[in-house]
A and B are shown apart, each in its own frame.
Chain A
Amino acid sequence: MNVERMPNHAASGEVVVSGIAVGKTFADGTVIALDNTTFEIKRGSFVSLVGPSGCGKSTLLRLISGLITPTSGQISVHDTPVTGPRRDISMMFQKATLLEWRTSLENVLLPTEIAGTPTKADKNRALDLLKLVGLGDFAFSFPAQLSGGMQQRVALARLLQTGADILLLDEPFGALDEFTRERLNTELMRIVAEVGATTIFVTHNISEAIFLADQVFVMTSRPGRVAKIVDVDLERPRPLSIQTSPEFNRLVEDVRVTLGAV
């Protein structure tokens, strides 16, 4: 039996992120970005948020990260209400957002610098993370010397450097070409399993959402809400070819019907 990693919602029952009746409105209440959403995310699990654009995926992620506060309801992380950005949560965006005057290594070290003075161990860890994302040879390159995919890998290493055990990724590879995206997705799966982080991943690609996740939160718009939670009981590690299996296609169908039904 594969003891390395089982679908985690089965392996461990502890809830690390939860939301109770969470709502968020913008523009004096005229735009309901997220409506009355309740959910639980368990330790070490990989959750995908999928839905059409404008359905509140980024809003939900930003609420969990503490960048914005809910209009109603409450979000808790490790049983404490989220009131602002916190060290055990880290976020990655669609754009790499690297500082162009810093090398890859210095960009990865940014979170450590903000938290305090980086030690020798921190610096070695940053280099190890760059190796982990396959950029060991580009540690001293500047962002302008890297391709879009490589920049996004640096951003991923920076995300991991925070040491946060809850990782939020907002369409992290959405701006990359299909091939690069597929490869990075596979690596992301391997890496988060390796560090044992709880991961929330936003995408508008149904196959991608299912392929990566233990649970898919299917979101619909107007008002934005989680319409259905689909459990993905596919064995890990998952080869790319799993996407042609009948079981996988059944899940895709399930998500598609939910999205189309509203």
Chain B
Amino acid sequence: MPDSRPSRGYRFLDAMVRFVPHLVLLIVLLCLWEAAVATGMITSIMIPRPSAIGGAIVELYVTKGTIYKHFFITLTEAVVGFCIGAAIAVSLAVCSSLSDVFKRYVIPYAVVLNVTPGIALTPVVIAWFGYGMGSKMALAAILCFFPIFVNTLTGLVQIDEDREELFKSLGANNTQIFTKMRVPAALPLMFAGLKIGLTTALIGAVVAEFAQATDGVGVLMSRFSFQLNMAASIATLLSMTVIGLLLFYTMEFLDDRIVFWRRESRRAAASRARARSWQSQIGK
């Protein structure tokens, strides 16, 4: 098959050119904001100038580098909390899909957990797990549980009559039906749940930091806000955006590789990889 994709260099250039208008718009907005503060239309105590935020960014991220310790603490809390929450959610979803009795007993608790505002659990979680990272991980885990549980379970219990019949006619046992049909078929929905869960896990970690903590970007940000140092506060907020983006694109990347069959470009790459591995195994 001839490779008809445009070259890497060309694609990069293309992306850059498309990026320019967005950059121009952003600069215009920042200039308007700067002008509004400079002319006194907005009070600079509440809303700092972009240039002041820029100064705070340089200080926090470059000259003093204060942000990094807090950045990694919050990142760790969110990721560990997410992993714990996801592991529990996926395990319970798998058990629920295998046993109707199990499902009947688990669902009410999952629903109660979902309709209770998770953030309201913050004081309780802090009382249980202390001021350290533990309580942040716990709240992250609680907040990401439900979307992952529901999506994974929905994926696992969807029935494709034709596939069921095919597997049955081939004499497949329940384990084979589960691993070769149910699980792969559930992956797209499971990843949709994981993506939502990762976002809510970060919310959980930051909210718990706001409530009570000694380290983390949430603490740093509320400290700056109390000092009415809004420029530094917003500069800290940006680090949360960075964490969010980092987590989101990591998940996108995994989704794209693991559930590769939904996108043509990924299918083509997977197809070439399979052909290569066949060549090395069998061909010659």
Measured CB to CB, the residues of A under 8 A from B are: 65-67, 85-87, 90-91, 93, 95, 97, 99-101, 103, 105-106, 110-111, 113-115, 120, 123-124, 139-142, 144-145, 162
Contact = CB atoms under 8 A, between A and B. Distances in A.
A120 B180 CA distance: 20
Nearest to B276: A140
A67 B171 contact: no
A113 B171 CA distance: 11
Nearest to A93: B162
A86 B282 contact: no
A237 B268 CA distance: 40
12 contacts: A86-B171, A90-B169, A91-B169, A99-B180, A103-B274, A106-B274, A110-B170, A111-B170, A113-B176, A114-B171, A142-B261, A144-B264
A123 B282 CA distance: 8
Contacts of B187: 101
Contacts of B165: 67, 93, 97
Interface in B265-282: 267-268, 270-272, 274-275, 278, 282
Interface in B150-180: 162-163, 165-172, 176, 180
A86 B171 CA distance: 7
Given A90-B169, A101-B260, A140-B271, 8 more contacts: A65-B169, A66-B169, A67-B168, A87-B171, A95-B162, A101-B184, A103-B274, A140-B272
B176 A114 contact: yes
Contacts of B180: 99, 110, 113-114
B181 interface: yes
Contacts of B282: 120, 123-124
A100 B172 contact: no
Contacts of B267: 142, 144-145
Contacts of A100: 261
Given A85-B168, A93-B166, A105 B278 contact: yes
B170 to A, nearest CB: 5
Contact of B170 (A85, A93, A105): A85
B4 to A, nearest CB: 14
A101 B169 contact: no
A142 B271 contact: yes
